Structure 1
Amino acid sequence: MADNANVRLGEAGGISVIDFGAFLNGSQKQAVADAMLTSFKDSGFVYLINHGLPQDRIDSMFEWSKAFFALPMEKKMLSPHPSSGTHHRGYSAPGVEKVTQHVYDADELAKHRAKAPDVKESFESGREDDPHMPNIWPPEGVIPGFKEASLDFYWTCRAISLDILRAMALGLSLPEEYFLQYHSAAENQLRILHYPSVPVQKLRDEEVVRIGAHSDFGTITLLLQDKVGGLEVEDPNKPGSFNSAPPIEGALIVNAGDTMMRWTNDIVRSTIHRVRAPPNITTEDGMTPERYSIPYFLAADFSTLIDCIPGTYSEERPKYEPVTVKEYILNRLAVTY
């Protein structure tokens, strides 16, 4: 194992901050890979500095996000998210989606849905030729340039995601290209999110929720967040206890999803996380600032059978039952709407 002391820059909220530039330029690939795997084992998350995603493109996508969500509701509703959660594209108004964890019992699902709704609005897009989930764009002339900017950012994020998969493979002592063979179809999702301003006390009392506690269901998630904060990650050593994952300027947050957890037979964590009121917030009017974030969900090809990587299981460590990506992800998406 390579010495990763000089690629790990510290931590925030119990999550390692790592210089990914040393992987991209080839100078310390194994050290970065090892440090990342350690962070994914410990917390399921990692902050990456020098991640290769150009800052001007990040800034531009946030501006497009603000422009879209500033449109009148009737304009945003011209590209509505279908009522079925299995077609995860288009615009969702505040309170429509209720992010859920593994809830398959009908009575339990009904109880979960009866809880406070997620007070956020979102817009999802993917690749243009996706046969499973075709994009649902605003009509031409509503917000010129939005579609092109979203697609450009989608493919830019995919390129960075593949570099991260290469590092994860090295950390797991696999060939660097191992995971890429299962991610050739770009079955991914770009989501822009807006959290309207709400009373701080209502968030703290859970009368309203920004995003409830959940894990992601793909391979990895890239997250860009503004300076407001509010992301919280469950402490793996204290179930039910959450730590703040504060914004770090210039950093990309990456977390492992359920698919990666199953692939590695729980060596890599898919950690529960949520969005609540920003920590230590003080406002004269008692309202939280509005918040914007951009997650990019990387998923393996829908036809991929997720079976535990050889060497991650034994008689003492039984493995997960194999499942196709399509079956797993569509089941999870279906219960969010």
Structure 2
Amino acid sequence: MSSVSLGDAEGISVLDFGAFLNGSESTKAELAWAMLDSFKRVGFVYLVNHGIPADKVRNMFQWSKRFFDLPSEVKLLAPHPPSGTHHRGYSAPGVEKVVQHIYDEENLKNIRAKAPNVKESFESGWEESKSMPNIWLPDGVLPGFKEACMDFFWTCHETELNILRALCLALGIPEDLLVKYHKAHDNQLRLLHYPSVPVRDLEEDKISRIDAHSDFGSITLLLQDNVGGLEVEDPNKPGHFISAPPIEGALIVNAGDFLMRWSNDLIRSTIHRVRAPPQMKPINGMTPERYFFFFFFLEFLAVVECLPGTYSDDNPPKYEPISASQYVLHRLAASY
């Protein structure tokens, strides 16, 4: 086992990212290559010593629970707009239905009616954004919540940039190349809560948590509680899913569709979903509730082409240059 590897979880590498943040040039390179290898094999990697302080993670989980414990009518004082292209504010259970590459409105309507995603969410981003302004609760409703979200947003952003620097090192390109495409802060902090629901309804597909999908941005950071339920499609067995269990103190990072395109398909954007936790112990036939949060990003104004080093005469670029906004906005619209 290498000095940066802490093992694996169902084939997903578990790595000590502290080797990149604080290590020698050789250990930085070793970590970067190991991370890229996991992205190439399965599209996911676990990182410990990732730079997000444990107390901030605990604090954000506490704030998330305080928010979702509010009465529905209070949470709806910060409503998510009907448009799927403005991902800010609160969405109630059953409103969203994640789908994969389905854009016909009638098909979307039928699919969403069949088995709604029983989750609720709150989304926020860069406070100064003109294109996607935040939608907060009225002043005085939950004092400190906005400030906690914004503090955590910027902490995650710094970790994002360090992960991108490591990826550049592994690809043999300047370490700031990807960073410069993520300076407009078109990022999203998404708090998620899965209420306790009847186990039978999940097993009989009357309801779902998050259906199988790939992310559409560059990379996603995921912090989950210890309940579990995240599953990743086995790259070697399409349609077969493996558990991505919670690991104490670990950050899960996965590549999105845009990074796969950006890397000329060198990096995988892997289908994943959230189901009932494995080996769960229902109480009176009900699942335990679950909390986690995402932080994911893409620079809407960036126009990108396949990265240097990901193509050659024998493996030419597969994609034409494209703007992130052109690529992403139709995906956003179909995800709500």
* Equivalent residue, structure 2, for 1:171: 170
Separation (CA, whole Å) in 2 of partners of 1:270 and 1:114? 27
* Equivalent residue, structure 2, for 1:226: 225
Separation (CA, whole Å) in 2 of partners of 1:306 and 1:279? 40
Q: Partner letter of residue 35 of structure 1?
A: A
Q: Partner letter of residue 20 of structure 2?
A: F
Separation (CA, whole Å) in 2 of partners of 1:326 and 1:109? 22
Separation (CA, whole Å) in 2 of partners of 1:229 and 1:118? 17
* Equivalent residue, structure 2, for 1:311: 309
- SS of residue matched to 2:37: helix
Cα displacement string for residues 290-316 of structure 1 (whole angstroms, at most 9, x for unaligned residues) = 0000110121x2111131113323465
Aligned 8 A contact 1:204 1:276 in 2 = no
Separation (CA, whole Å) in 2 of partners of 1:26 and 1:213? 37
- Taking structure 2 as the reference length, the TM-score comes to 0.96
- SS of residue matched to 2:148: helix
Aligned 8 A contact 1:262 1:306 in 2 = no
How many correspondences in the alignment?
Answer: 333
Worse-superposed segment, 322-331 or 85-94: 322-331
Q: Partner letter of residue 285 of structure 2?
A: G
Q: Partner letter of residue 42 of structure 1?
A: R
Cα displacement string for residues 59-85 of structure 1 (whole angstroms, at most 9, x for unaligned residues) = 000000000000011100000000001
Separation (CA, whole Å) in 1 of partners of 2:115 and 2:7? 36
Between the aligned residues of both structures, percent identity stands at 64
Tell me if 1:115 matches 2:114. yes
Cα displacement string for residues 93-116 of structure 1 (whole angstroms, at most 9, x for unaligned residues) = 001111111113455434433331
* Equivalent residue, structure 2, for 1:19: 16
Separation (CA, whole Å) in 2 of partners of 1:312 and 1:21? 27
Deviation at 1:318, TM superposition (A): 4.9
Instruction: Spell out the pairing of 1:60-209 with structure 2 (5 A cutoff).
Output: 60-106=59-105, 108-209=107-208
Unaligned runs of 5+ in 2: none
- SS of residue matched to 1:156: helix
Q: Partner letter of residue 294 of structure 1?
A: F
Q: Partner letter of residue 327 of structure 2?
A: Y
Tell me if 1:243 matches 2:234. no
Q: Partner letter of residue 122 of structure 2?
A: F
* Equivalent residue, structure 2, for 1:302: 300
Q: CA RMSD in A?
A: 1.4
Separation (CA, whole Å) in 2 of partners of 1:79 and 1:105? 28
* Equivalent residue, structure 2, for 1:324: 323
